[in-house]
Amino acid sequence: MAISILLGFLMTILSYVDYERKDSALVSKRNFEILRGIETNSSLRHEVFLSDFPSNSVEEDFSPVLKSYLNGEVPVGEVCILYVCELESVCLFEGEVAEEIYSSEILFFAESNSYFPRKLKLFCYDE
């Protein structure tokens, strides 16, 4: 009887750990897809190169086109903040959140005939 209870307890813990791994993998994949969407869309890509850096999507003067795209891609119940930073900078999340924060980044190097390297970093967490 004790062995059955112990095995039940262990199975519960292992399934919880597996669920957490799957959840973080899904969030990472979705974040990468959001960044990839910006990278492959020429008008969104152009907005990245027009953005001052460092800047983030919480600021009032941040690109409304990028804000609109981000708001349309982020699922309900989650908050995502997009940062545009210099290529060499660390690009840290500015704020305090009690939840787990997931981050992904992508690098942008050039636009048609000009070289303006940028780092685009996405931070997401549950509301």
Residue 51 has pLDDT above 60, yes or no: yes
Q: Where are the beta strands (DSSP E) in 57-113?
A: 78-85, 102-111
Averaged pLDDT score across all residues of the chain? 81
Tens digits of per-residue pLDDT, 55-102? 888 888 888 999 999 999 988 888 899 999 888 888 888 888 888 888
Q: Which two tokens stand for residue 125?
A: 């967490």
Residue 19 has pLDDT above 60, yes or no: no
Residue 17 has pLDDT above 60, yes or no: no
Average pLDDT over residues 102-116: 80
- Who's near 118: CB < 8 A, 6+ residues apart? 48, 49, 51, 53, 84, 85, 86, 87, 107, 108
Q: How many CA atoms lie within 13 A of 35 on its CB side?
A: 24
User: pLDDT value at position 60?
Assistant: 87
Backbone angles phi, psi at 68, to 5 degrees: -60, -45
